[in-house]
Structure 1
Amino acid sequence: MSRNALSRTTITATALVLSLGLAACGGGDGDQVGADAKQTLTIWGMGEEAKRLEEVAKDFTEKHPNITVKVTPVGWDVVGQKMTSAAAAGTLPDMAQMGSTMMGEFIALDALEPVDEKVFDKADFFPATWDNNVVDGVSYGVPWYADVRALYYRTDIAEKAGKGKEPATWDEHHALAEAYKKNGATWGTELQPGSTGAWQTWLPFLYSEGGELIGEDGKPALDSPEAVRAFERFGSYFEDGLAKKNFVVGRDVAKDFGAGKVPMFMSGPWMVQNLDEQQPQIKGKWKVAPLPAGSKGSVSWVGGSSLVTFKDSAHKAAAEKFTQFLTTPKMQAHWYEISKSLPANKAAWNEPEMQNSETLPVFEKSLDTAKDVPPLEKWTEFAVQIEEAMEKVARGADPAATAKKLQKATEGLVDQ
């Protein structure tokens, strides 16, 4: 998954909550505290982001001195289990930062307060960031920051290989990978063949062919012609020896990129700073480009985090004010400046902080065309099935037959 990956223990914890018949929340609004009252607003933030959230919360408190914001850091590796346990015990905070692939589970638990769309206008946000939070026409989270993918490639090695332009299509991407390999690279490109998070590698292949994870009938669409073509294209890199077939946990792609061993990979915006800091010797020798296009264009998936308020909170008015504060264009641009997380609010991209980068326009363009990951209750299990299918294809399994088995394996994981 993205940086906001769920622990697989979430599945067990969720099952426990459901088996006990414990809907996460369900309190009414009778005991609500007004926004102007003196109060403490509790929020869970994840990892390093929680520390930065504490800092920006101080600015909020200066404007709203009656509201003390208490931020509790929670690790991404344990957040799913911790939230489901807190839901069962009735000890959830007022609000939280929630990763994109977590939304479906907590919507299904009836844990989240619907968003007031009179206060938050979905037109202010990139469509995929908003759609990720919607079930049955109701939104349960306000997009905070976005995560989208682009292509990183070594321009110096490409030019030596006779490839002077960025690869605009998957065919051109494949040809560049071949050229890299012929000119001494260990692998032509980095593609994760399987294991946790590999679905992120395959979705651009699927979406750029016009495929969907879930069809209009509410069922998985993983054996569609588009899905089969996505598996075929994905598998061709391994069949042709251009990508490594086995996944190595902890492998440093930035180091391999800097050494020219793997001169091309897909990743998010944070890698720009990582490369600048960790691989200064290749400054000016690499670029970021939109993901290669399939038959339906260049299409990334969008992830990131949204801000949610829990149903049992007695401080919903204060939570709404804090959410408004964090999603203004100016604060979104400031958040990018301190965290390098992309703004979900479209107007933030016009702020001064967003104007001094050659790479940001690429990510903005990607956000314009990106598609959401549907908020599925059993996303973790669903993703595991995709990743196992990817691994089989990477090792030579027939794409069509694998897609057919994947369809059957996922049908029971989706409520229809």
Structure 2
Amino acid sequence: MRKHVAMVLGLILLASTLYGCGQKAEESAPASDTGKAEAPAQTEEQGADENAASSDKPYEGTEIRVIFANHNWTDAVTAHLDEFTEKTGIIVKAENYAEDQLSEKLAIELTSGSSGLDVMMTRPLQEIKMFIQNGWVYDLSALKNDPEVDASDFIPSALASYEDASGACYGLPLVTERQILYYRTDLFEKAGLEVPKTMDELMAAAEKLNDPDNEVYGIVSRGLTAAAVTQFSGYLYGCGGNWVDKDGNAALNTPEAVKAFTFYGDMLRKYGPPGVLNMHWQQAAALYSQGNAAMYTDADSLYNSACGPDSTVSDVTGFAVMPTGAVYNICSWGMSIAANTKNPEASMEFVKWATSKEVATLAQSVGNSGARTSVWDDPEANKSFPPELVKVILASGDIGVETDRPQVISVGRARDAIGEVIVTAINGGDVQAAADKANATFQSIIDEDFGTK
């Protein structure tokens, strides 16, 4: 796996050299210059009718290749791609990949300078800084300023996560997330427990509800190295720590950070399920969904996976604001366009549709936390969310932090380093030593990315 990751990073480094930061996407040729054979002679009436149709669907027959992440939002929206084609005439060739596969796929294709990719789901806090630096994404500022898009309706922090220092925009937000606590109301009632309000109460509840003999564990959360970083962030903020100090230097080995690493590791080692070190969100959500955990901390956007209609605990799940006192409140997924697309106009039509209020309402109505403020005021959009969950989502915004990971260009390397400390903590190892090592690695990443050394 390390060899594979090293290969992808090597390709990315090569791309930085080959393409640089300033590469711009070229405009596609007008539809009339495509080289297709001319149509047979038409009557004046036929020509008028077809010209009108052409103006309604100027990209009729254009094919665009769109890469999606395997996500609940994708499931909801791709079922309606035919409606987009009917409306615009644009044919969507869709591909779906798991998150890690998606990152590798995009890194390889964008590094190669391929013009065969048009639109892609991206994570603004994970990869967009690197994509912008390398000139891999198309400038969507014109789309952001389109009155029909109504960018003012996006949650400000969600839209800002796609902007560079100059205000140029390289994506539009789709999904927002806040870390919340899912808990089994039946188990809490049976044990006579109140919903945790502090981290100490969370640990105490996990201990009391841990019942491995009956395959019910006190709590589950992500334990898989880099994947665990985002869920660890709430614990880090709750202990008074952060990724960097006020001067922008690495702060992974401060007393506050070490306390958070230790807490998270102890909690999952003592009261989490076997195999937690191999759990991304899919595995953790499935375990909770099957009734094998009393509590689960992760994103509210995973509601359908954790306790949706197919879950065995859908009727006995409660929701609460994280008892850490601070949590992330972020844009987790959005839509960007590849810089080398041959179809920028048609691609922008797709992004415009995918991020529209109508599609946002559709996606949110089946449990995806959207990025548009107006949609959160729409009862139709919130119909699949329990009222208690909507209250928790809105309340979590009051203690929200705008990032759930370090804001560096090489965020993948930084997450790998932090994830090693989390793994050490879950294994009961020397947390301070692991944090010192990770801090040195992280500081070197900061220096490299921002040219401080």
* TM-score range normalised by the length of the shorter chain: 0.7 to 0.9
CA distance in 2, matches of 1:154, 1:398: 33
The percentage of aligned residue pairs carrying the same residue is 19
- Once the two structures are overlaid, the 10-residue window that deviates more, 135-144 or 6-15, is 6-15
Q: Does 1:69 align with 2:85?
A: no
Q: Is the 8 A contact 2:220 2:268 kept in 1?
A: no
> In the TM superposition, what whole-angstrom CA distance separates every residue of 1:41-69 from its partner, at most 9, and x where no partner exists?
5242325566754443333344434xx13
Structure 1 equivalent of residue 358 of structure 2: 330
Q: More helix by proportion, 1 or 2? A: 2
Q: Work out which of the residue numbers 62, 67, 87 in structure 2 matches 1:45.
A: 67
1:140 is the counterpart of 2:170: yes
Deviations 1:83-123 (A, max 9, x none): 23333243242322213423233122111123314336664
| Structure of higher CA gyration radius | 2
Q: Is contact 1:207–1:371 with CA below 8 Å preserved after alignment? A: no
SS in 2 for 1:168: coil
Give secondary structure in 1 for the equivalent of 2:173: strand
Q: How does 1:210-221 map to 2 (within 5 A)?
A: 210-215=240-245, 217-221=247-251
Q: What amino acid does structure 1 have at the position aligned with 2:196?
A: P
**Which amino acid counterpart does residue 80 of structure 2 have in structure 1?**
V
3-state SS of paired residue (1:342): coil
Alignment counterpart, residue 13 of structure 2, candidates 15, 19, 26: 15
How does 1:183-202 map onto structure 2 within 5 Å? 187-202=217-232
Aligned to 2:236: 206
5+ long unaligned stretches in structure 2: 32-53
Instruction: Name the counterpart of 1:382.
Output: 414
8 Å CA contact 2:177–2:369 kept in 1: the answer is yes
Q: Cα–Cα, structure 1 residues 356 and 84, in superposed 2: closer, same or farther, change >3 Å?
A: closer
Contact 2:224 2:278 in 1 (8 A): no
Verify the 8 A CA contact 2:226 2:418 in the aligned structure 1. no
Shift of 1:398: 4.7
Shift of 1:283: 4.5
Secondary structure at the aligned position of 2:186 is classed as helix
- 1:4-403 equivalences under 5 Å are 10-18=8-16, 21-23=18-20, 26-27=23-24, 31=28, 33=30, 37-38=58-59, 40=62, 42-48=64-70, 53-65=77-89, 68-76=90-98, 77-87=100-110, 88-100=112-124, 101-116=126-141, 117-119=144-146, 123-138=152-167, 139-163=169-193, 165-181=194-210, 187-215=217-245, 217-237=247-267, 241-243=270-272, 247=276, 249=278, 253=284, 256-257=287-288, 261-268=292-299, 269-272=301-304, 274-280=306-312, 282-293=313-324, 297-300=325-328, 302=330, 304-338=332-366, 340-351=367-378, 352-358=380-386, 359-366=389-396, 369-372=400-403, 373=405, 376-403=408-435
Q: Note the residue ranges of structure 1 that are not aligned, 5 or more in a row.
A: 1-5
2:85/2:92 contact within 8 Å kept: no
Give the whole-Å Cα distance in 2 for the aligned partners of 1:320 and 1:131.
19
| More divergent stretch after superposition (225-234 vs 366-375) | 366-375
CA distance in 1, matches of 2:358, 2:445: 40
User: Is 2:220–2:288's contact at 8 Å kept on the other side of the alignment?
Assistant: no
Report if aligned partners of 1:158, 1:179 keep a CA contact under 8 Å in 2: no
Paired residue secondary structure (1:144): strand
Map Cα deviations across residues 297-345 of structure 1 (whole Å, 9 max, x no partner): 231353531111233335434433332322222220102335x322111
The root-mean-square deviation of aligned C-alpha atoms, in Å, is 3.5
* TM-score, normalised via structure 1 length: 0.81
The more displaced of 348-357 and 125-134 is: 125-134
Distance in 1 separating the partners of 2:259 and 2:242: 12
- Amino acid paired to 2:8: T
- Distance in 2 (CA, whole Å) between partners of 1:109 and 1:392 is 34
CA distance, structure 2, for counterparts of residue 33 and residue 150 of structure 1: 49
Q: CA separation in 2, counterparts of 1:298 and 1:188?
A: 22
Task: Flag the 1:53–1:244 CA change in 2: closer, same or farther, 3 A.
Answer: closer
Specify the code of the residue in structure 1 equivalent to 2:159: W
The 3 A distance-change label for structure 1 pair 128 and 170 is: farther
CA offset at residue 27 of structure 1? Answer: 4.1
CA deviation vs aligned residue, 1:164-204 (integer Å, no higher than 9, x gap): x3212212211211221389775321244443512133111
Secondary structure in 1 matching 2:385? coil
- CA–CA separation in structure 2 for the residues paired with 1:247 and 1:197: 12
Q: With structure 2 as the length reference, what TM-score do the two structures score? A: 0.75
Mapped to 2, the partners of 1:301 and 1:399 lie a distance apart of 27
The answer to which structure, 1 or 2, has the higher relative contact order (CA under 8 A, 6+ apart) is: 1
**How far did residue 238 of structure 1 move?**
5.2
Q: Which amino acid aligns with 1:242?
A: Y
Deviation for aligned residue 1:386: 0.8
Q: Could you tell me which amino acid in structure 1 is paired with residue 315 of structure 2? A: G
Instruction: Please say if residues 245 and 395 of structure 1, whose CA atoms lie closer than 8 Å, have aligned partners that are also in contact.
Output: no
